[in-house]
Homo-oligomer: A and B are copies of this chain.
Amino acid sequence: MAQKRGLLLVMTGASGVGKGTIRQELEKIEDYHYSISWTTRESRPGEEHGVHYFFKTRDEFESEIHSGLGFLEHAEFVGNYYGTPRAAVEEQLQMGRNVLLEIEVQGAMQVKQAMPEAILIFIMPPSLTELKNRLVGRATESLEKIEKRLAKARSEILMAHEFKYCVLNDDVSRAVEDIRAIIRAERLSALRLTEEELEVIVQQ
């Protein structure tokens, strides 16, 4: 029987909502391929090629946009490209492996367009105040920039119906268990049954 296609999980949500922490906990207990983005920006101290990003030239990136399988999502920020190349994701899915993307909301919407099978999971903060506290706690950005992020988070929260699932991150381990339940349930989706599998059951 052909290998059953993996699930494409897209975890998204505001900056500071805890996507990274959830992913780190999840990867201790669930087997999936984590898709690493391409970027044309310079690597920062401590960042490794193939771990944090694949660092590419503009030529390489643009050639993938136009001639390769393209990107599931990509965008240009401040003169640099960022994106999720389609080929690697497709290869893993075809091998039957689940793939997880951890990306911004705009990118998640692009993935949904490119691959309607994608399972969009929106990570929700308990409140905007709590999100603000987390961003301020990180102390990596100016208050002005944080306020901009919060305004963006607000509008994203109000469009939560666009996603398939919504997981509240008020407790990381509960959020991780929620995502595991989503993965288990999605594997049971009747849409994933192949004619071949049904035939095997009725022939035996």
Contact = CB atoms under 8 A, between A and B. Distances in A.
A160 B198 contact: yes
Contact of A189 (B165, B180, B204): B165
Contacts of A178: 184-185, 188
Contact of A193 (B129, B166, B181, B188): B166
Nearest to A195: B158
B164 A190 contact: yes
Contact of A190 (B154, B161, B180, B186): B161
Given A162-B190, A184-B181, A201 B126 contact: yes
Contact of A160 (B154, B162, B193): B193
Interface of A: 122, 124-130, 154, 157-158, 160-167, 177-178, 180-182, 184-186, 188-191, 193, 198, 200-204
20 contacts: A122-B190, A126-B201, A128-B201, A128-B204, A157-B198, A160-B193, A160-B198, A161-B191, A161-B193, A165-B189, A165-B190, A166-B190, A167-B188, A177-B184, A181-B184, A181-B188, A182-B188, A184-B185, A185-B185, A185-B186
